[in-house]
Structure 1
Amino acid sequence: MFKLKGVAVLAGAAALAIALTGCGGNASSSKSSSTSGGGTLTLGLIVAPSSFSAQNANWANQSPYMQAVYDTLLKASPSGEIEPNLATKWSYNSDKTVLTLTLRSDVTFSDGTKFDADAAAQNLIRFRDGTSPNASTLVNLADAKAVDATHVQLTLKAPDPAMLTYLTQNAGLQESPKAFTNKNVETVPVGSGPYRLDTAKSVTGSSYVFDKTPHYWNPSDQHYSKIVMNVYSDGTALLNAIQGGQVNAANTFDNTTLDQIKAAGFTVNPLELNWEGLILGDRDGTLTPALKNVKVRQALEYAFDRKALLKALANGYGTLTEQIFPTSSPSFDKSLDSTYSYDPAKAKELLAEAGYPNGFTLKMPSAAAFGESNFALIKQQLADIGVKVTFEDLQGNDYITALIGGKYSAALMTLQQDPTDWQLASFQIDKTAAWNGFHTDDPTVQGYIKTIQTGSEAQATAAGKALNKYLVDQAWFVPFFRPQSSFVTDAKTKVTVQVGNAVPYLWNITPKN
């Protein structure tokens, strides 16, 4: 249900962001015509592109639009492994502050301009300085310069273990430098990608038509002669399109209509992008003194019936968890998911040991996007151990702003599980992280994060595992489960889902033979 990843500091607050900002657009009524020989693929998407400028491009739910018209410097496999693309080789200097990429010499943009190292350097700097919600991914990029036509050098302010991953996403998109000053740069993309946008047949905010690029340098990524991307404003409109055979594959708003989608002959391709649960941000007891005591935070872990919460909050679709690291992470430890059981008696015992035998009062925010019944269930389960919760209802993005601003000691939230441990730590754990709203500065945590950033692969892996266990033991968060996201495909289409992204990468959607 929660899958809109990457909206500035809103990244990962997917369901809330979708529910509060809307998805826009209306469905096209044209029938799809995908064939095993590579005819037309019609995709159902839940957001329209915010910009076709590579500099300002969004990712996640908007990645198919970008991947149709642009190439990235590097490519990520479905499991997140880094692979060559426009860059065929890459290497770091000894302290990982200089990254050199070797580039292809046979690629041309759709306006006839040749792709080279100078174009790559310009695109990197423009993205860093642009208005993309993900521009901060290049915060460590000090400079990018062409060494020669086929080599570009990236100088970093500090080692960034996620840099290669960023170059597989919108930070790595390559646009023709001649298009930078075009007056229609936001609406007419000029890339070197496998498809070209047919602006005459597209309807802004509703339907986008892409034709196969002739003589494309990597024809193995062109599985269709035409791709149509239709935007649906809500789950009902999308379900009608699926039942009417108007799409071959689609992202979904939530899992409430999966039975009807399966009855229409579609296959559900599940993935788990996020974790859902409580952020116990006030670990120093700034607003709620009780939360400074680790036994109090651990008591909250024991207070929740995660199975009941999964059923109530996510219709039963998902996997119970007690850690915020994804299963794809080397830091994931299955044994940590049995650290805390549902045990109200144990929770009361811990509260008494911490000096709160009669519990305490906890003020939390609520928002309609999560559903009133969900907050009622949380309130009930905390009341069962003596913790009295008072909710303050917030509107719109005020909920998110309040959380990252440290306005509430604890809050229900859904946050992304990033492809790399460095990304996850930088986003949710580090003392400067957006979702460390109180900026908890724990020397043990900071030491592990520093090793993840600067250590060898073996050292970083060990530090990540230790960090994960420490966070669970110290109860920084109370994860309930990893909610299932669902991408659905018809009988003519197969797909491989992408680790860390709401939508499969375009080249991994193919006709069935």
Structure 2
Amino acid sequence: MSQHHPRRRARGSRRRVASALIAAVVGATGLAACGGSASSGAGSDGTLTIALPLKPQSLDPGKNGNGGQNIVQWLSYEPLIRLNSDGSLSPGLATEWGYVGEGNKAFEMKIRTDAEFADGTPVTAESVAATINHYIANPGPLSHFMTGVESAKATDEQTVAVTLNAPNPILPVVFSQSSNWGNVISPAGLADPSKLTTETHGAGAYVLDTAQTVDGDHYTFVPNDNYWNPDAIHWEKVVVRVLPDANAALQALKSGQIQVDMNSQGDIVSQARKAGGVDIAEGPGFVQALFLMDRAGELTEALGDVRVRRALNHAVDRKAIAAALGGDFTPTAQIAPVGTDGHDEALDETYAYDPDLARELLAEAGYADGFEIDALSMSLFQTDTLAQAVASQLEEVGVTVRLKSIGADLNQLIADMATKEYAAVFFNAGTNMFTNALQNFASPASPLNPFASKGEEVIGAFEAMAAAPEEEVPAAAVALNRAVVEQAWFVPLVQTPAYAFARGIGSFGDVGNAGALDVLSWTPAS
């Protein structure tokens, strides 16, 4: 395990681990060196106000999902490792980390000795190991990223050893804030986990002010007097507001009601560009797709035939859908977005729009008269609009899609997928290829893979990437993406960059892979 320095590791060959999850914005915090104690901010009272498109699934880091909603943890829980917007990794509570031996099956971290939880309790190797073991014993929406992780143990006062029973090459990201599992919980929080849903028990820069918080509407954070790096605290107060309407959020930004808009969708970016004084951060985004979850035909027999899945891909007019959505949407036939390690431009030519070929493939598979699919959709990111367009196009080749929209309730979406009563779901895919796979089709623990997909071509390519030496990872990532496209496990449709809008913020920075943002680097504009 080599010495780690801020902003150095993860460039070049280590950049492959700078990935996170699906859709929206995944934030990262930097070791900001400017400022000192909390200073006056964009508001007269030194308040930073941030808009989210949906409420967090939970204040408990182990029960929350990914994307912008877990900014409540980014503010209040210090991660072991920080994923930065430039793709690098830097120290959080861990000052050094790395794999031990070969095969990505053993991992060690050195824990800093100058950190305390918000309640004043010292952060120790024992508390870090206890947190990891708590997450293992209490699965949550993102447990699939812990694939292979068996246990954690403090081997001395500073060292935590993580044991795996299967290769997992992305543990630096797993133990970052982007996957939640790097968020270390205090002994008091672990002693009574029920408190984690209403209070924060971390070692982060801020703590939740429960008296100024209304769940589902707004969450208020104040500085943590025990934070190990006080130079990173720039605000007297941080308020996270839930504003589901993207246009309303942009208007709130323009009028000064908020300073950061994380409900910054591709269809309104042109409006933001026209607005004076709005800073726009952009980065690798996400792919919107029809996830054919029932790939073995357990519920909908037709989907077990690759000819049928390929027919569905030929039946959609991606260019027309992208044009109808407007904004910065572009057509794509792969689930790896531009800017990620699995992306291969040639794969976008795999499925030309050809309804006649789609009908021929369906007839060859024995479905000349078509079939029906029960599918889920949601209101965020114009997904319902997208789903209706796809359903109309599939109807033209004889395939009927019965849609159910869950609105903006991700908990309901997860619950509905778990019933295995829906063969498909319209959702987002993104990030570098290994995390993309774990999230979307390779892990039976993922909510997006309720049918526990199997298939020698795809799973074999996934396993090859899991154990690949670092220098072979780029080729393995493309090979995995190619296998997914050839087996047509998805109907990819359109992609858009990730965006975040700001006004009155200094050091706003860029959007990194999977939407990473350097939240603790944000300062009041001078």
Measured in 1, the distance between the counterparts of 2:299 and 2:185 equals 48
Contact 1:38 1:223 in 2 (8 A): no
After TM superposition, the structure 1 = structure 2 runs for residues 112-191 of structure 1, keeping only pairs within 5 Å, are: 112-130=120-138, 132-138=140-146, 140-169=148-177, 170-181=180-191, 184-191=195-202
Structure 1 residue 305 displacement after superposition: 1.8
Name the counterpart of 1:196.
207
Name which of 351, 360, 365 aligns with 2:375.
365
Q: What is the DSSP-based 3-state SS (H/G/I as helix, E as strand, rest coil) of the residue aligned with 1:500?
A: helix
Name which of 381, 402, 413 aligns with 2:393.
381
Contact 1:208 1:228 in 2 (8 A): yes
**Aligned-residue CA RMSD (Å):** 3.7
Distance 1:264 1:230, change over 3 A: farther
Measured in 2, the distance between the counterparts of 1:363 and 1:188 equals 42
Measured in 2, the distance between the counterparts of 1:350 and 1:378 equals 18
Measured in 1, the distance between the counterparts of 2:333 and 2:502 equals 31
Per-residue CA shift, 1:448-475, capped at 9, x if unaligned?
1111222322344333222212222332
Measured in 1, the distance between the counterparts of 2:453 and 2:80 equals 36
Measured in 1, the distance between the counterparts of 2:170 and 2:460 equals 18
Name the counterpart of 1:3.
none
TM-score, length-normalised on structure 2? 0.78
Q: What is the DSSP-based 3-state SS (H/G/I as helix, E as strand, rest coil) of the residue aligned with 2:41?
A: coil
Measured in 2, the distance between the counterparts of 1:383 and 1:392 equals 11
Question: 1:495 aligned to 2:503?
Answer: no
Distance 1:13 1:249, change over 3 A: closer
Question: 1:62 aligned to 2:69?
Answer: yes
Measured in 1, the distance between the counterparts of 2:62 and 2:295 equals 38
Structure 1 residue 215 displacement after superposition: 6.9
Question: 1:391 aligned to 2:401?
Answer: yes
Distance 1:349 1:508, change over 3 A: farther
Shifted more, 368-377 versus 471-480: the winner is 368-377
Per-residue CA shift, 1:38-78, capped at 9, x if unaligned?
94422222344554445545542233221222211111121
Equivalent pairs: percent with the same residue? 30
Distance 1:50 1:510, change over 3 A: same
Larger radius of gyration: 1
Measured in 2, the distance between the counterparts of 1:323 and 1:77 equals 26
Measured in 2, the distance between the counterparts of 1:56 and 1:296 equals 36
Structure 1 residue 323 displacement after superposition: 0.9
Name the counterpart of 1:19.
none
Contact 1:272 1:482 in 2 (8 A): no
Question: 1:322 aligned to 2:333?
Answer: yes
Shifted more, 109-118 versus 248-257: the winner is 248-257
Contact 1:281 1:406 in 2 (8 A): no
Name the counterpart of 1:311.
323
Name which of 64, 71, 74 aligns with 2:81.
74
Whichever residue aligns with residue 34 of structure 1, its letter is G
Structure 1 residue 208 displacement after superposition: 3.4
Per-residue CA shift, 1:87-137, capped at 9, x if unaligned?
111132324332111111111222222111011111111222336433453
Measured in 1, the distance between the counterparts of 2:301 and 2:215 equals 52
Name the counterpart of 2:118.
110
Structure 1 residue 414 displacement after superposition: 1.4
Distance 1:357 1:242, change over 3 A: closer
Name the counterpart of 2:286.
274
Name the counterpart of 1:22.
none
Name the counterpart of 2:99.
92
Per-residue CA shift, 1:372-409, capped at 9, x if unaligned?
7645533443354xx21223343647776665665555
Structure 1 residue 247 displacement after superposition: 0.9
Whichever residue aligns with residue 514 of structure 2, its letter is G
Measured in 1, the distance between the counterparts of 2:356 and 2:60 equals 56
Name the counterpart of 1:450.
463
Q: What is the DSSP-based 3-state SS (H/G/I as helix, E as strand, rest coil) of the residue aligned with 1:427?
A: helix
Structure 1 residue 290 displacement after superposition: 5.6
Q: What is the DSSP-based 3-state SS (H/G/I as helix, E as strand, rest coil) of the residue aligned with 2:49?
A: strand
Q: What is the DSSP-based 3-state SS (H/G/I as helix, E as strand, rest coil) of the residue aligned with 2:514?
A: coil
After TM superposition, the structure 1 = structure 2 runs for residues 347-362 of structure 1, keeping only pairs within 5 Å, are: 347=358, 354=364, 360-362=370-372
Q: For this pair of structures, how many residues does the alignment match? A: 480
Measured in 2, the distance between the counterparts of 1:301 and 1:12 equals 21
Shifted more, 290-299 versus 170-179: the winner is 290-299
Measured in 1, the distance between the counterparts of 2:294 and 2:127 equals 46
Name the counterpart of 2:6.
none
Measured in 2, the distance between the counterparts of 1:191 and 1:355 equals 55
Whichever residue aligns with residue 183 of structure 2, its letter is L
Contact 1:366 1:391 in 2 (8 A): no
Whichever residue aligns with residue 107 of structure 1, its letter is A
Whichever residue aligns with residue 482 of structure 1, its letter is Q
Unpaired stretches in structure 1, ≥5 consecutive residues: 1-10, 16-31
Per-residue CA shift, 1:138-172, capped at 9, x if unaligned?
35332221111111111223222232211102211
Structure 1 residue 489 displacement after superposition: 0.7
Name the counterpart of 1:263.
275
